[in-house]
Amino acid sequence: MTPIAPTFASKAPADERVREVGLLRKLMARPEFGALAGTLLVFAMFASSAGGSGMFNPEGIINWSTVAAYLGVLAVGAALLMIAGEFDLSVGSMIGFAGMLLAIPALYWGWPIWLAVVFAFMSAMALGWLNGWLVVRTGLPSFIVTLAFFFILRGLSLAVSVLFTGKTILSGNGDLVLRELIAQDPVISFLFSGYTLTGVFDSLARMGVIAARDDGTALATGIPKAVIWWLVLTAVGAFVLARTRMGNWIQAVGGDPHAAKNVGIPVARVKISLFVVMALCSTVFAVLQVADAGSAAADRGLQKEFEAIIAAVIGGCLLTGGYGSVIGAAFGALIFGMVQIGIGYTSIDNNWYRVFLGLMLLIAVLFNNYIRSRFAASRR
């Protein structure tokens, strides 16, 4: 009897529709890849040219991370709004106006500082709602509507401050000092003023890990509250965009608002909400700035709207909407902070800062368009 040879199941043929995607390709498909690569490049550039200058000492890191944090707060709102296909050019004027909405009631109307802060937030967010409502209701480009509010709010900041106080920079009124009012309120002071983890930094200084003053305290005082706000808002924005239904709506609205509306997405509500979020971020910036400087000024926030948009674009947000990353915008803001402060640690003329930003914007737009076109072609 002839033995029967054992049979083995043949390996199923590979489905040609399924292909392995390499790690580099996966990374390049992420909108924040360009910003991350740019951050590493800028870091390496300053590490080689200013590594021994103190830029990367704890106090140096605090300096440029604080600048990045202020812009990063705005970049969160700008990124979400741009992903939805809209812009807000009133951001810089909103910062100055919100600062005045805080300072005038606290110094001249006798309001407690907490109520003045709440008033500033509520008023700014109401204006953000009005911005969004006008864009949705009229069908006008957000560029035009918010450009109009850019001039309106800047003019109101100057006119209202002169009308009620006769000044455009407010730090005190008689016995009332804005910095002291903020310091005396435990909640507002905790949220917006000073530093955190100061005890940890002082302990490290006593152990000789970081530089110390003559009295033994750390030369780097601690982590500024602006950095904490930046990290929290970035984490919340990234979570909303990546893990929630609202995040899907934002990307769908930016990709094709008509198609989004046809499948039941509340396009108007999404857009108006994001204008409110942008106003919220602007007011956080304003209150942090008032708490840090101890004063409010009607002309604060100049060109911040453009810097926020540039940070978002560097972070991977397309100007046409529907694609982008909050994390990438955070890296874009970090690049700003490193360059703005890092140039001072080198022998490079500070006038080259704006040239660098313009080049970064151009390179980011070209890179993002290239990656987006490659990504779209690979999905056909």
Q: Is 345 a member of any domain?
A: yes
Say if CB 317 and CB 80 are below 8 A apart.
Answer: no
pLDDT score recorded for residue 13: 54
Q: Is 19 a member of any domain?
A: no
Q: Is 20 a member of any domain?
A: no
How far is the C-alpha of 370 from the C-alpha of 1, rounded, in Å? 69
84: containing domain: 33-372
Q: Is 26 a member of any domain?
A: no
Q: Is 377 a member of any domain?
A: no
pLDDT score recorded for residue 321: 87
Give the percent of the chain with pLDDT over 90.
58
How far is the C-alpha of 342 from the C-alpha of 67, rounded, in Å? 11
Give the percent of the chain with pLDDT over 70.
89
Q: What is the pTM of this model?
A: 0.89
pLDDT for residue 225 is more than 80? yes
Q: What average pLDDT does range 115-122 have in this prediction?
A: 97
pLDDT digits (tens, 9 = 90+) for 337-353: 888 888 888 877 777 77
Parallel/antiparallel/unpaired status of strands 296-297 and 176-177: unpaired
Q: Is 14 a member of any domain?
A: no
How far is the C-alpha of 139 from the C-alpha of 12, rounded, in Å? 55
Q: Is 9 a member of any domain?
A: no
pLDDT for residue 27 is more than 80? no
pLDDT digits (tens, 9 = 90+) for 163-180: 988 888 999 998 899 999
Nearest one of 344, 311, 367 to 70, comparing CA atoms = 311
* CATH number of the domain enclosing 264: 1.10.3470
Domain count, the chain: 1
pLDDT for residue 6 is more than 60? no
pLDDT digits (tens, 9 = 90+) for 182-196: 999 999 999 999 999
Q: Is 144 a member of any domain?
A: yes
Nearest one of 293, 301, 297, 302 to 160, comparing CA atoms = 297
Q: What average pLDDT does range 285-292 have in this prediction?
A: 96
How far is the C-alpha of 336 from the C-alpha of 330, rounded, in Å? 10
pLDDT digits (tens, 9 = 90+) for 227-277: 999 999 999 999 999 999 999 999 999 999 999 999 999 999 999 999 999
pLDDT score recorded for residue 230: 97
